[in-house]
Amino acid sequence: MVEALHPSGSQAMISQLLSPDQVVLDLKGDFSSALRRLAAVACPGKDMGPALDDLILAADDSVMLAGEGISLPHLRVAGLDQPRISLGLSRKGISHRGKRFSLILFLATPEQDSAGHLKLLQRLKALLPQLRNDLLKAKTAAKVVAVLAAGEETSVRPTFFNLTQDQVAVELRTDPVSGLSSAQAKSRLSLHGPNQIRRVAGTPEIIKLLRNFFSFFAILIWVAALLCFVPGVDMPQLGVAILLVVVINGFFSFLQEQRSDRAVEALQRLCAQQCRVLRDGRTVQIDAALLVPGDVLLLEEGDIVAADARLIDAVQVEVDNSSLTGESESAKRYKSDNPILLPGKFLWIELPNVVFAGSVLVSGTARAIVFGTGMNTEIGKIAGLTQAIKGEESPLQKQLRATVLSITLLAGGLGLVFLFLGWLVAGLTFVQAFVFFIGIFVANVPEGLLPTVTLSLAMGVTRMARRNAIVKNISSVETLGCTTVICSDKTGTLTQNLVMVTHLWTDGDLYTVGGEGYRPEGAFQRNGQTVNKAQLTENPATARLLECALTCNNAHLEKSRGQWRIVGDPTEGALVVMARKAGLHGTHQRLHVNPFESVRKRMSVVVRGAGAAERLLYVKGALVETLGLCDRILREGLIRPISESDRSQVMTASDDLARQGLRILALAYRDDLEDSGDWGVDRAEQKLIFIGFTASSDPVRPDVPEAIESCHRAGIRLMMITGDYPLTAECIGRQAGIGQLNPNQRLAVMDGAEVMSMDDDRLKAVLSTGETIFARVAPEEKLRIVSLLKQLGEIVAVTGDGVNDGPALRCADIGIAMGRRGTDVAKEAARMILGDDNFSTIVAAIEEGRAIFENIKRFVAYVFNSNPQELYPYIFWMLFPEMPLTMTVMGVLAVDVGTDLIPAMGLGIERPEKGLMDRPPRAKTEKLLSMGFILRAYFIQGTILALSCYATYYFCGWYMGWWAPPDALSSMPASPAGLKMDLATPAYLMSLTAYFFPTVTTQIANVLCKRSWKTSLFSKDFIDPQHRREILDHIGTWRPWSNDRVNQSQPAPPGPGLPPSTGSLWWQWLAFPLRVLRRLLTRLGRRLEKPLIRPAAAAMSRTLERHPVTLNFVSNPLIDIGIVFELGFCVLLFYTDLARIYYFAPVPWPVYLFAFTGTVVLTAFEEAKKFLRRRSHRLEFLG
Amino acid sequence: MQSLKTKRHPVSAIITAVGLEKIARHLALLACLSIVFKSNGWSDTGAPAILFLTAAACLLHLGAGWLKRCTRPGPRP
């Protein structure tokens, strides 16, 4: 499914690149011959002689040596498709330049992948020294590979970018001081290509064009054209003209379809356009596309990093990786040649001495050597992964394809049976029999199926949009309905994406802080008792803590458009909000600031105190570091020396909160500062008085626990996949209710490294049951989790916001991007966008998705019930040749257009029924159409409808005197000889009308009854109370120009006296008269509003409220419009010139009235079924 | 950034598009039948009328496609 999921090249494990036949256990000879042997084993058939000579001659120790007794000769080879390695062991050792090597690993990587080369090199350099002894003990080649594999799996030593700056420069053949020369840059550009994200080739244009020439519609026209050339028809000129039409139509349809892949464009937009580099020792500004590996990139605050690069010089560098990771907090980056210990296996994005393409330098200046450009950057790989994932068919699309195929086979089979019976048995000519084939085929193919599905999905999309879920890929709507697993991220989706102080500890007491968001309102509680503002400010400890929090702070709170927001750092903002909740406002004059530094982990400010000479220092920072600087503590209103017991009490209290995933911030002060003006860090930040600490968190959204409970009721499992730390993730997960699907099952929490170390089978076992929280997860692992869930047969919905989420979003059955904080890349890769970033919106969308499948099932039932009425006339006519044909092919086509379209589509827009979210998700295998269903539709309900048609047909005969009960049934007006309809008698045409009209009237009952499976159409509970209220409000407030008002904000198209817009000019001029007419009608409507429309709408609403059963009949306007359309269409068919085309003639009014008996009979039948269903009789056999 | 606004009246436009497509297919089928009927002498529809039917079907089909494209839901860049 996803080729890119299988690691290859530099992404693969080293043990995966090394097979046993690439291991030489008895390496002998001198270094040169050993190297040649290893090169031959690694790259069989590749002549690397000159390159190896260069390597042996030019290699210096820093490149060749990986550790004691280990040599790591490596080179980059043009034309290599993927990295190759071979390993040689020599117990005696092989001498080279005075050193002996017992282990030689030869590495060759593709010339163009310098980033991959560096990655493999650093991993080998980290791994080989650890495994040296074990490798030398191995007796077989397979054992050697096994040792390497085990070493990679269990290595506790952190892996890091451990090549020195010089090594990086040597590997990339560049000079860190003067950069590349122009000539080098030019040749590398031709080798590596431009630094751009490339679009992977999609479906060829010619295939797209051909699709338009062979769509179902185009095939119909082809058939028409080809028929013109059939001997006996002989209309070649017409054939050529129709061929021209079909070609033109195909080209225009193709032009309409042209649409580009915006995901790639969004990625391209993220990348820098210009950058500064060192070339020939000079600083030059170049197009970022011209950047090549080895270039020395110069960065300063505000720059977008143009390529992946290793920092060789960095001053106060902070980068914003949010476009890559979605995490809003910026990260520090350093120049470092020393190993930087990252616990466990590292996430590539966390490397502290590397900057990545697409990140933004928030502060500082830097110099970096470019090692990855274009598709070899991390963002390029994400683009590659995103594009590699093919769009899969949704479950509904698969169902529809299967359904359409079965129906087509059924219709085609029946048609063929009748074709041969008519031709060979009934004595018709082949062409006559072929016409019947068409009739039966058209009668049985529910052409309205796909349009209704489209409409049903579109309605779902519209309703979801009202609930803040924007669906991009329409077929995804229904997929939501069968979702079995939701993989949600944490920040902003389950949580509010803000920092809020929830606890404060001072003077030995723990206070809880209430409130929501950044609104400065909330209660303080101590031991469950509310503490009012006066008590807080009177207590010296809380008063001092709040003052410190507010004063030692660079953020401020403001109200914008009714919303409270923080300007500045969110963590500092949370302290301001806490202080404002206690009623504090800033009063102190700031004299000096010691800004926050990551090394000190604190900041401090000096302010003027109450006395003229009083100077106060307020400090906030990490607890351990700040507490270490305190020699006194504020307790019970007094300042006293801090004891070990005090320190222990503080640490215990903070540990309890930290275990709940809260972030701790200590607050301290000093009131004995000298007024010297020298308030630097070293002099001022000492001898502090400890006040207390605050604990903050990103709280769970209030409606999330209920939404998750709803998911559990609906049989949907939740997985949290987050980049945050396990403790925090677990805490939030528990608060939200994750893990409560099965109370007997423990909530599992795993971090990214654990996931990485598990093979697919073990991970599948974890994923197959219960709910799990995955923390510190890299994009590749997120994609792997999603992919494995899909392999387990789950329908997976995945949320994401960063560029790194792109692959998982595209791989998921339904990718959901965050509308507010999501990157363009995530939005483009996703199929749905949440306008409010809220998890509960997903649950609402799932309900809509389920409703859609129900509606499509209703539609299929409706259409299949109507088919037999069109089929029986042919069967009887074929079986009993003396019987007249009661429905012609044209009649079938008329039914097809008249009844299968609008009323059927009305069923597609029904709202969700009550209790829809209390059922488990439907099985992926649940069919829209089963054989049992088809048989029931044909033989039970279809027969009742056909009987009704025949009853009216014979009633017409009786009424007109053509037939009376003792007469044979065949004594009705006969079909014209050879079915030459221009010879048909008026009586025969009237009899056709008599059979046709009940097909319409019975369908009225059919469509109304199919609106609910159980609830009676005449019940007050037919419509959900909430929906009823909405409908009544809608009717009561209806105004004919309401859309006009809504759209006033949109630009109007041009026309005389109207401003121009961006739309197609010719179309707007064409539409101008319609717009004028609309405006005139609008004006008329406004004039009539007060005297007529407003009171009429209100009266209508009131009336319908009093008569809920009447409301049942008008609550789905599309069905009502469809019924009116059907009846109006009949009038046109019977009383206009269309009667000559479709072969009808008017009948007396009692015949029309009689036809409505079918409506009554069917309604009674359906109501009886619903009555029995409500009493738990399944009644499947009744259809 | 992307606008999260959906386009105007998607449902009514989709109904129209679906209707147009259905009528287009109906007309194409009528054109086929007219050719068969004419060759059998069941009706006397002229070649221009059949060509008109075909062209009308194609135009309606294109119109339906255009409307569907216009009403494709989702965010706009």
- Indicate yes or no: CB of B2 within 8 angstroms of CB of A249: no
Q: What is the value of ipTM here, to two decimals?
A: 0.82
Owner of token pair 């089929």: A871
- Indicate yes or no: CB of B40 within 8 angstroms of CB of A438: no
Q: Which residues in chain A are contacts of B27 at CB distance < 8 A?
A: none
pLDDT at A8: 42
Confidence of residue A845 (pLDDT cuts 50, 70, 90): confident
Q: Kindly give the pairing relationship between strand A563-567 and strand A556-560.
A: antiparallel
Residue A581 has pLDDT above 80, yes or no: yes
Q: How far apart are alpha carbons B27 and A69 in whole angstroms?
A: 84
- Indicate yes or no: CB of B23 within 8 angstroms of CB of A472: no
Bridge partners (DSSP) listed for residue A559: A564
- A7 or A75: which carries more pLDDT confidence? A75
- Indicate yes or no: CB of B39 within 8 angstroms of CB of A233: yes
Q: How many pairs of residues across A and B have Cβ atoms under 8 Å apart? A: 165
- Cβ atoms of A755 and A763 within 8 Å: the answer is yes
Phi-psi region of A72 (alpha: psi -120 to 50; beta: other; left: phi over 0): beta
Q: Which residues in chain B are contacts of A1047 at CB distance < 8 A?
A: 8
- A152 or A731: which carries more pLDDT confidence? A731
Look over chain A and give the mean of its residue pLDDT values, rounded to a whole number. 79
Residue A63 has pLDDT above 60, yes or no: no
* Residue of A237, A245, A981 with shortest CB distance to B42: A981
Confidence of residue A428 (pLDDT cuts 50, 70, 90): confident
Touching A: B residues 23-52, CB under 8 Å:
23-26, 28-33, 35-44, 47, 50-51
Q: Determine which helix (DSSP H) or strand (DSSP E) holds A867, and give its type and residue range.
A: helix A839-879
Minimum Cα–Cα distance from B22: chain A residue: A897
Q: How far apart are alpha carbons A196 and A976 in whole angstroms?
A: 73
* Residue of B39, B42, B57 with shortest CB distance to A982: B42
Residue B51 has pLDDT above 80, yes or no: yes
Residue A105, SS3 per DSSP: strand
Q: How far apart are alpha carbons A899 and A1003 in whole angstroms?
A: 7
pLDDT tens digit sequence for A1107-1123: 888 888 888 888 888 89
- Indicate yes or no: CB of B74 within 8 angstroms of CB of A232: no
Alpha carbon of B13: minimum distance to chain A alpha carbons (Å): 10
Minimum Cα–Cα distance from A983: chain B residue: B42
- Indicate yes or no: CB of A249 within 8 angstroms of CB of B61: yes
- Indicate yes or no: CB of A262 within 8 angstroms of CB of B77: yes
pLDDT at A920: 81
pLDDT at A264: 52
Q: Determine which helix (DSSP H) or strand (DSSP E) holds A585, and give its type and residue range.
A: none
Alpha carbon of B49: minimum distance to chain A alpha carbons (Å): 10
Task: Give the pair of three-digit tokens for residue A315.
Answer: 């001053």
* Residue of B62, B71, B77 with shortest CB distance to A252: B62
Minimum Cα–Cα distance from A256: chain B residue: B66
pLDDT at A162: 61
- Cβ atoms of A775 and A722 within 8 Å: the answer is yes
> How far from A1065 is each of A255, A1062, B10, B63, B77, CA to CA, in Å?
18, 8, 22, 17, 21
- Indicate yes or no: CB of A248 within 8 angstroms of CB of B69: no
pLDDT at B6: 40
Owner of token pair 């464009």: A265
Rounded to an integer, the average pLDDT of A145-168 is 66
- Nearest CA to A95 out of A30, A35, A38, A33 is that of A30
Residue A883, SS3 per DSSP: coil
Owner of token pair 């930290």: A658
Q: Report the greatest alpha carbon distance in chain A.
A: 125
Task: Give the pair of three-digit tokens for residue A1174.
Answer: 């409500």
- Cβ atoms of A253 and A209 within 8 Å: the answer is no
Among A474, A834, A1070, most B C-beta atoms within 10 A, so best to mutate, is A474
- Cβ atoms of A168 and A118 within 8 Å: the answer is yes
- Cβ atoms of A952 and A994 within 8 Å: the answer is yes
CA dihedral (A160, A164, A170, A172) positive or negative: positive
- Can you state the percent helix, strand and coil of chain A, rounding each to 5? 50, 15, 30
- Cβ atoms of A1038 and A1104 within 8 Å: the answer is no
CA dihedral (A740, A920, A402, A797) positive or negative: negative
- Indicate yes or no: CB of B62 within 8 angstroms of CB of A1043: no
Radius of gyration of chain B (CA): 18
* Residue of A442, A448, A981 with shortest CB distance to B43: A981
- Nearest CA to A439 out of A428, A424, A452 is that of A428
Q: How far apart are alpha carbons A360 and A381 in whole angstroms?
A: 19
- Indicate yes or no: CB of A217 within 8 angstroms of CB of B21: yes
pLDDT tens digit sequence for A703-727: 888 888 888 888 899 999 887 777 7
Contact of B76 with chain A, judged by CB distance below 8 Å, is answered with: no
Residue A1151 has pLDDT above 80, yes or no: yes
Among B44, B61, B71, most A C-beta atoms within 10 A, so best to mutate, is B61
> How far from A902 is each of A906, A1000, B14, B58, CA to CA, in Å?
6, 12, 12, 21
* Residue of B9, B50, B74 with shortest CB distance to A471: B74
Residue A593, SS3 per DSSP: strand
Owner of token pair 């001092």: A544
Residue A493, SS3 per DSSP: coil
CA dihedral (A332, A333, A337, A343) positive or negative: positive
Alpha carbon of A988: minimum distance to chain B alpha carbons (Å): 16
- Cβ atoms of A422 and A430 within 8 Å: the answer is no
Among A470, A896, A1140, A1141, most B C-beta atoms within 10 A, so best to mutate, is A470
Q: How many helices (H) and strands (E) does chain A have?
A: 46, 34
Minimum Cα–Cα distance from A447: chain B residue: B22
Q: How far apart are alpha carbons A984 and A280 in whole angstroms?
A: 95
Bridge partners (DSSP) listed for residue A304: A360
- Cβ atoms of A113 and A191 within 8 Å: the answer is no
- A753 or A267: which carries more pLDDT confidence? A753
pLDDT tens digit sequence for A1074-1094: 788 888 888 887 788 778 888
Instruction: For residue A792, give the amino acid letter.
Output: L
Task: Give the pair of three-digit tokens for residue A244.
Answer: 């021209």
| Catalytic residue set of A | 489
Q: How far apart are alpha carbons A410 and A868 in whole angstroms?
A: 13
- Nearest CA to A822 out of A490, A325, A303, A262 is that of A325
Confidence of residue A156 (pLDDT cuts 50, 70, 90): very low
Confidence of residue A1056 (pLDDT cuts 50, 70, 90): very low
Segment among A141-150, A952-961, A1149-1158 with least mean pLDDT: A141-150
- Indicate yes or no: CB of A227 within 8 angstroms of CB of B32: yes
Residue A76, SS3 per DSSP: strand
Rounded to an integer, the average pLDDT of A33-52 is 80
* Residue of B9, B24, B36 with shortest CB distance to A227: B36
Task: Give the pair of three-digit tokens for residue A200.
Answer: 């992977």
